[in-house]
Amino acid sequence: MKYIHKLQNIIKNNILTIAFTLFLIFLIIFSQTNLFAAQQGLKLWAKNVVPSLFPFFIATELLNYTNIPYYLGRLTNKFMRPLFNVPGEASYAFIMGIISGYPVGAKIVNKFLEDGTCTKSEAERMLAFTNNSGPLFIIGTVGISLFGDSTIGIILFITHILSCLTVGLLFGFISKHILIKKQRLYRNASHTASYGISDLGTLLSSSITNSISTILLIGGFIVLFSIIISILNNLNIIDYISNFLSIIHIPNEYGKSIFTGLLELTNGINAITSINVKHMSSQIIISAFLLGFAGISIFLQIFSIASKNNLSMKPYFIGKLLQGFIAGFYTFLILNCFDFFYFNI
C-alpha cells in the first residue's frame, strides 16, 4: 500500500512530463496518420479560419485604439449593469466577440481588466458570455458548407446568441443576489484617444502584428488537436468512449462525433454533419450544443490569454457548458414549435 501511494505521488507530481513524453512517443509511432491529420488541420485553418477571422482581428485591434468602447459603454451601462452586473463596456466585448469569433472577446476583456475598466470577478464572468462563434463560421462554414443549408446556419446563430445572453443574465443574477458582493474598484483612467493620422502607420503595424499572433495561436491549436484526435483514434480510445455512450442509447457514430467536438469544435461538427441519417434535426441540436460549449481546444485558447492576468477559468467553463445545453434546448424548441423548420428526410 505504501508503494502504491508513493507511485501515485510520483505520477501526480510528474503528470505533465508523462503526458508530453507519451505525446512525443505517439507522434513517432503513428507518424503517417499524424502527418495526414496535421495537413488536414492546416488546410482547415488556412481555408476557413484565416480568411474569415483575420480581417476582423485587425479591425478589432484598430477599434481598441478609439473611443468607441468608452462611448458604447456609457450608452449601454444603464442596462448592462442591472441585467448582467458588468460595466457597459462589456457590450463592446460582446458585440466584437460575436462579429469576430473566438478569442476576440477574451482579448478585449483582458484589456479591460488591465485598464481598470472592470474588476477581476467581472472579467471572469464576462469571459463566459462575450466569447462566441461568429456569423461567418456558424452561417457560412457550419450552415452552408457543412449542412448545405443557410437556414440551419441562421437558426444555429440565433440560438447561439440567445444562449450566451441567457448565461450572462444568469451569472449577473447570481453575482448580485446569491454571491457576497465585493467592493467595486472604480477607474481613473482617461478614455480619450490621443491618436491622429500621423499615428496611422504605427497603429496598423501594431494591429496586424497582434492579429497575426492571434491567428497563429488558433492555427496551432487546430493542428495540435487534429493530431491528438488522430492519436486517440489510433489507440481506439474514441471507439471505447463511443461504445460506453451506447449504453445510454447514443449511437456509435454520434458518440464519436460528440467526443471529437468536445475536443475540437470544427472537427466535431464536420463529423456530425457527415453522418448519414434521416433525422437531421438531431444533428442540428447536437451542433448547437457543440457550438455553445466550443470545445477544449478553444478553452485552452482562452486560457492562454486569460492566464496573463490570473483569471479563473471556472466561470468560463461552467458558462460554456450551460450555454451548450441551453443552445441545444432553444434549437429543439425552434425545430419542434415551427412546422416550416422541418429538416428530417
Is 293 a residue whose pLDDT tops 50? yes
In a domain, 64, yes or no: yes
Cell representation of residue 159: 440560438
Looking at the chain, the whole-number percentage of residues with pLDDT higher than 90 is 16
| In the predicted structure, residue 6 carries a pLDDT above the cut 90 | no
Q: What is the spatial distance between Cα 290 and Cα 195, in angstroms, rounded to a whole number?
A: 41
Torsion angles phi and psi, residue 137, rounded to 5: -75, -50
In this structure, is residue 282 part of a structural domain? Answer: yes
pLDDT tens digit sequence for 30-85: 888 999 999 988 887 888 778 777 887 888 788 877 778 778 878 888 888 888 88
Assigned domain for 196 exists = no
Q: Is residue 90 part of a domain?
A: yes
Judge whether 193 lies within some domain: no
Domain total in the chain: 1
For residue 344, pLDDT beyond 70: no
d(CA 246, CA 69): 48
Kindly state the average pLDDT of the residues 124-149. Answer: 86
In a domain, 307, yes or no: yes
Residues in the chain: 345
Q: Print the domain residue range for 316.
A: 31-180+205-337
Q: Is residue 1 part of a domain?
A: no
Mean pLDDT score of the chain, rounded to an integer?
82
pLDDT in tens, 152-176: 999 999 999 999 999 999 998 888 7
pLDDT range class, residue 192, cuts 50, 70, 90: low
State residue 339's pLDDT score. 65
Confidence (pLDDT) at 63: 81
**pTM, full prediction:** 0.83
The 8-class DSSP code of residue 179 comes to S
Q: Is residue 13 assigned to a domain?
A: no
Contact 326, 155 (CB under 8 A): no
